[in-house]
Structure 1
Amino acid sequence: MNTTDKPRSLPKLLIVDDQPINIRVAHELFRHDCEVYMATNGEQALAKARALLPDLILLDVVMPGMSGHEVCQRIKADPLLADIAIIFVTAHYDEADEVRGFELGAVDFIHKPINPTITRVRVHNQLLLKQQRDQLRSIALMDGLTGIANRRKFETALNRNWLQCARDRKPLSMFMIDVDYFKKYNDHYGHQEGDNCLKQIAQTIDTTLVRPSDLGARFGGEEFACLLPGTDRQGALYVAAKIEQAIRALAIPHQASDVANQVTVSIGCSTLSPTPQSDAQQLIAQADEHLYNAKNNGRNQISAD
């Protein structure tokens, strides 16, 4: 299933305020339109932002301990959180405060006591903008031929998951998939059939990756890449074998292949435990090396650490 076919979930709204009554009022306003989450201090807000990756944060400016301004600064400084939209909620009408808020990265202000109509409109507008940005980004990050993620989206997801797995102390796995003797396939059957072959393989990869966090992408030409956050070597090999078997089950004829009379693939698997100081490109380089080994040793096989 393509991501465009999946039902759209409600947007996630994080409300941050040290006064429970303010949280209850905001929750009542949005509980039917959003998945509403709550935090009562800055540290809790940061923890929930990292765990939930909300679409929008309603952030009280004046709180004991860590202020809303500091929370905003720390969110915008974190690569995993920087794109989250923040609306400051404040009882002050100071123009200088608003200027500072915008400079810190806020997208709007709501003044207390909140007006339900104004608050609804401003939140709705920001969520609509977020949805439109996501749609445009989705189009820009989709491979035009196969309909799955393109290399740009893969690289973005790799960097994001590298940081997240480093933070959570979890492994990150990926594998590279190369269609065996694809040039010969194109020469024998023609480029139109070659395109159809790549489309079938892409959709097979996409449907075999069942976890929402896993990503299959066209890496370039006849190469595909799969990213599996939180998956160890054994798990990655299991998924790679499933994909290899599913592609074989397509039984796409390939009379020009040197290894079989149908389309086959070579796969290189890699698993690393990221750290904040290490480079995510190590994972690609390692998977690429194993793909080279699989092809050099006769193709139609999986090579791993």
Structure 2
Amino acid sequence: MLMLRLSIVVGGILISLFMIGDLQLIPPELAGSYITSRALIQLPILAGLLAFTFAPQFFRFAQTAFLATVISITYANYYLIHVAWEQAAFSFPYEGTLLYAFFGFFVFGMKFYYALTAMLISSVGFVGLMFLDPVYGDRTWMNAGFVVGSLFVGAIGRHRVDRLLGQLEEANEQLVGLSTVDGLTDLFNRRALMSESERLFALQRRSNKRLAVFMMDLDHFKQFNDHYGHQEGDRAIRIQADIMRQVFKRQTDILGRYGGEEFMAVIDGEHADRFEHLAGEILKQWQELAVPNEDSPDSKVLSCSIGICQGLATEFDSIDEMIRRADEALYRAKKQGRARYVMA
């Protein structure tokens, strides 16, 4: 926003500098009309745009404001060209038409369809002015063609810029996804999981609210992977991720793959009973799926063990402490026979 406001100020300074130079070139009888156009019309339009940038609704109407500003100043310049011709048969330069348009296209950052609209309205106005006043003599229509063509090139340039920016934004989103999402499960990867968990822990600690960390591990996964192959192992990992998404449904729930066949969920809540219910739902879904695991020394189906650490966030020094306690609870669940949960 600061850069936009500085750009508007620079635009006003440029118009002021044009006044200093133009007043040395135009006939004296045009000085009053010229100063009126520049100082009392064009500069106040820019000042109005600058003031509008401080309004709460500016971002909603920014593109419309840019379009209105460019068209208003351009047509004020057309009127100045008309008056100069009518009053003194003076051919006032048309370059301002292009400067105003390009300033809007590339400095204000007008989107393509707004730039195209500005190009069409500006072109129609300039051609109409040339019909009304043959300002540039034998070169009138050549100059008109040059203005229309230049405005068209500017609009196409804005289209190319928008397309490149869109491709860049899409590439950045893909990079963010690659840096935060586990490719196999579409859950958070470990780095993003830890970052989001620390954020939720800090939030719950400030408000002295309850938090739970679930550590989940597929039982005898090595035997399953060795017996059925890596593709089936990957499918089992995806099943675990799908179960987690079905059980932990709230947008605030943080789900991730901690590593290998180990998963973690960090959620907020009011009662420990709810956490136990969620753990029970995970175990129940695995039981219902009954995925065969012939080489398991315990059950002959694939299962999951869960360790839970829960409590008020203020009772713990860090999220790392909660993860450590949940991991210890997971270890106890394994020792007690697997396919169960243990609450720390």
TM value normalised by structure 2: 0.52
Q: 1:266 and 1:226 mapped to 2: Cα distance?
A: 13
Q: 1:255 and 1:25 mapped to 2: Cα distance?
A: 64
Q: 2:172 and 2:203 mapped to 1: Cα distance?
A: 23
More displaced, 290-299 or 275-284? Answer: 275-284
Aligned partner (choices 269, 277, 280) of residue 308 of structure 2: 269
Alpha carbons 2:52, 2:58 under 8 Å: kept: no
**Per the alignment, do residues 126 and 243 of structure 1 end up closer, same or farther by CA in structure 2, a change over 3 Å counting?**
farther
Q: 1:120 and 1:166 mapped to 2: Cα distance?
A: 44
- Tell whether 2:317 aligns with 1:285: no
Aligned partner (choices 291, 298, 311) of residue 252 of structure 1: 291
**1:120: how far off?**
7.0
In the TM superposition, what whole-angstrom CA distance separates every residue of 1:110-130 from its partner, at most 9, and x where no partner exists?
xxxxx9x93877xx9999988
In the TM superposition, what whole-angstrom CA distance separates every residue of 1:85-133 from its partner, at most 9, and x where no partner exists?
xxxxxxxxxxxxxxxxxxxxxxxxxxxxxx9x93877xx9999988765
Alpha carbons 1:151, 1:217 under 8 Å: kept: yes
Matched pairs, number: 203
Alignment of 1:26-105 (within 5 A): 26=58, 28-29=60-61
**Per the alignment, do residues 133 and 144 of structure 1 end up closer, same or farther by CA in structure 2, a change over 3 Å counting?**
same
2:248 counterpart residue number: 209
Q: 2:297 and 2:251 mapped to 1: Cα distance?
A: 36
**Per the alignment, do residues 120 and 245 of structure 1 end up closer, same or farther by CA in structure 2, a change over 3 Å counting?**
farther
Instruction: Tell me which protein shows more strand as a share of its residues.
Output: 1
- Tell whether 2:13 aligns with 1:23: no
Aligned partner (choices 154, 162, 167) of residue 193 of structure 2: 154
2:266 counterpart residue number: 227
Which SS does the other structure have where 2:192 is aligned?
helix
2:217 counterpart residue number: 178
**Per the alignment, do residues 133 and 179 of structure 1 end up closer, same or farther by CA in structure 2, a change over 3 Å counting?**
same
1:96 counterpart residue number: none
Which SS does the other structure have where 2:238 is aligned?
helix
**Per the alignment, do residues 25 and 302 of structure 1 end up closer, same or farther by CA in structure 2, a change over 3 Å counting?**
closer
- Tell whether 2:103 aligns with 1:118: no
Q: 1:26 is matched by which residue type in structure 2? A: F
Q: 1:23 is matched by which residue type in structure 2? A: A
Q: 1:297 is matched by which residue type in structure 2? A: Q
Q: 1:301 and 1:277 mapped to 2: Cα distance?
A: 25
Q: 2:231 and 2:261 mapped to 1: Cα distance?
A: 14
**1:181: how far off?**
0.8
Q: 1:251 is matched by which residue type in structure 2? A: A
Name structure 1 gaps, 5 residues minimum: 1-18, 33-114
Which SS does the other structure have where 2:108 is aligned?
helix
**1:284: how far off?**
0.3
Q: 2:332 and 2:277 mapped to 1: Cα distance?
A: 19
In the TM superposition, what whole-angstrom CA distance separates every residue of 1:41-94 from its partner, at most 9, and x where no partner exists?
xxxxxxxxxxxxxxxxxxxxxxxxxxxxxxxxxxxxxxxxxxxxxxxxxxxxxx
Q: 1:293 and 1:30 mapped to 2: Cα distance?
A: 60
Q: 1:284 and 1:31 mapped to 2: Cα distance?
A: 49
**1:193: how far off?**
1.5
TM value normalised by structure 1: 0.58
Superposed CA RMSD in Å reads 3.3
In the TM superposition, what whole-angstrom CA distance separates every residue of 1:269-299 from its partner, at most 9, and x where no partner exists?
1113224992220110010010011001111
The percent identity for this pair of structures is 30
**Per the alignment, do residues 192 and 286 of structure 1 end up closer, same or farther by CA in structure 2, a change over 3 Å counting?**
same
Q: 1:168 and 1:31 mapped to 2: Cα distance?
A: 41
Instruction: Tell me which protein shows more helix as a share of its residues.
Output: 2
Name structure 2 gaps, 5 residues minimum: 1-50, 65-103, 112-161
Which structure has the larger Rg?
A: 2
